[in-house]
Amino acid sequence: MSRPYPVAVLGGTGYVAGEFLRLLAGHPQLALAAISSESQAGKPVAATFPNLAGVFGAARFCDEAGLEEAVRDGRVRALFCAAPHGAAAGRVDALLNVAAASGVTLTVVDASADFRFRDPAAYARVYGHPHACPERLAEFASALPEHLDGTPAAHVGHPGCFVTSVLLGIVPLLRAGLAEPEFFVSAVTGSTGAGRKLGEGTHHPVRHANMFAYQPLTHRHRPEIEQLAAEAARPCQVHFVPHSGPWARGIHATIHGRLAAPADTATLRAALAEAYARSHFVEVVDTPPRIKDVAGSNRARLSVAVAGEAFVVMSAIDNLVKGAAGGAMQWLNRLLEFPEDAGLRLPGPAWT
């Protein structure tokens, strides 16, 4: 391709949007064409993301009307959606309608939860409101790129960060018949997982030197994990307890289960390693992974241990990259027939 492929970011002031921009800055075949924000329209992108001033110093946020115009004119051909769940679906639907009316092909990867469920009734049960455009759900696939081959739909709803950390650990074991279909998961996330809007859970005096569980066994990601695990492998039950940790970025998930047949640590490690042998980003290691091994990168690290009938898988990812913007970029690369690791080869800083 002689010219970069033009991409827009919808909902452009949050942490995930900032990661989309950071990754686009290093992508050899994608280029930022527009970034929208109703609250910051007309203002410099660098005022919201000073770390990106050296790359996007001249860029300014547009409003949604400006983004629609860019789609209509063909100046935007792909879209990363970083809008909140509940707000994303209607905005994406409007932009797809504009594209269709203008004869423009628009490829969408959504990082919100609005296109992860196949059944609009399931979405409504989890999120407490009807889906804005249920007729669009069939146009979106939802899975980790490591678990679904090819380009199964025109668009993708990327799984969330907690969901990613858990699915990476359980899907290969379910596929191999090594695990009983019931898991007990404790996963700890950094404060960026709560988003940019200030709240009690992200207030520094509460979060610093502290760790606490929230929504134990009732969190909205549990049904997402169960649905996507069933689609990728087989139905299972997941007992999920999320925790807030005293760091900014990264998730560590500890996944307990029972063996379906006698096996040792080496057997489970080999099953995980075989499942991700072709993956650019998932590594199976001998010792428990650490968040600083992966923070700032699109990499994931897994390890496993077995004792008797019990096993535990430990999973570490960056919630903003592998769990959001990076995983979404993997999908867009594939949908546009670029190398899946394009723009995602950067290592993490380690000492964050």
What pLDDT digit, counting tens, does each position of 67-76 carry? 999 999 999 9
Instruction: Output the domain CATH number for residue 37.
Output: 3.40.50.720
Residue 93 and residue 226 share a domain: no
Report if residue 337 sits inside a domain. no
Cα dihedral 80, 83, 84, 87 in deg (nearest 10):
-120
User: What's the confidence (pLDDT) of residue 171?
Assistant: 98
Residue 217 and residue 110 share a domain: no
Report if residue 193 sits inside a domain. yes
Report if residue 74 sits inside a domain. yes
Report if residue 77 sits inside a domain. yes
Residue 129 and residue 165 share a domain: no
Q: Which residues of the chain have pLDDT under 50?
A: 1
Upper half-sphere CA count for residue 117 (Cβ side, 13 Å): 25
Residue 69 and residue 23 share a domain: yes
pLDDT in tens, 214-231: 999 999 999 999 999 999
Instruction: Output the domain CATH number for residue 309.
Output: 3.30.360.10
Q: Single out the residue of 19, 2, 50, 4 nearest to residue 195, CA to CA.
A: 19
- Could you count the other beta carbons within 10 Å of the beta carbon of residue 50? 11
The tokens for 82 are 């970083």
User: What's the confidence (pLDDT) of residue 195?
Assistant: 81
User: What's the confidence (pLDDT) of residue 144?
Assistant: 98
Residue 204 and residue 124 share a domain: no
**Distance from the Cα of residue 213 to its chain's centroid:** 21
Report if residue 256 sits inside a domain. yes
Residue 161 appears among annotated catalytic residues: yes
- What is the secondary structure of 142-204 as a DSSP string? -S-TTTS-S--SSEEE---HHHHHHHHHHHHHHHTT-EEEEEEEEEEE-GGGG-SS--GGG-H
Last residue of a domain, one of 113, 141, 169: 141
Domain enclosing residue 120, as ranges: 5-141
Structural domain count, the chain:
2
Residue 310 and residue 167 share a domain: yes
Residue 124 and residue 65 share a domain: yes
pLDDT in tens, 256-277: 999 999 999 999 999 999 999 9
Residue 314 and residue 167 share a domain: yes
Report if residue 326 sits inside a domain. no
- Residue from 62, 81, 133, 161 carrying the catalytic annotation: 161
CA dist., res. 48 & res. 166, Å (int): 32
Q: Single out the residue of 102, 185, 93, 166 nearest to residue 134, CA to CA.
A: 93
Q: Which helix (H) or strand (E) holds 17?
A: helix 15-25
* Burial letters 66-94, b for 16+ CB under 10 A, else e: bbbebbbeeebbbbbbbbebbebbebbbb
Residue 304 and residue 169 share a domain: yes
* 3-state SS assignment for residue 342: coil
CA dist., res. 38 & res. 303, Å (int): 43
pLDDT above 90 covers a percentage of the chain that reads 92
Residue 166 and residue 125 share a domain: no
Q: Single out the residue of 328, 351, 334, 350 nearest to residue 88, CA to CA.
A: 328
The tokens for 51 are 């770390």
Report if residue 12 sits inside a domain. yes
Residue 173 and residue 117 share a domain: no
- What is the secondary structure of 271-332 as a DSSP string? HHHHHTTT-SSEEE-SS---GGGTTTSS-EEEEEEEETTEEEEEEEE-TTIIIIIHHHHHHH
Residue 119 and residue 208 share a domain: no
Report if residue 209 sits inside a domain. yes
User: What's the confidence (pLDDT) of residue 175?
Assistant: 98
* 3-state SS assignment for residue 241: strand
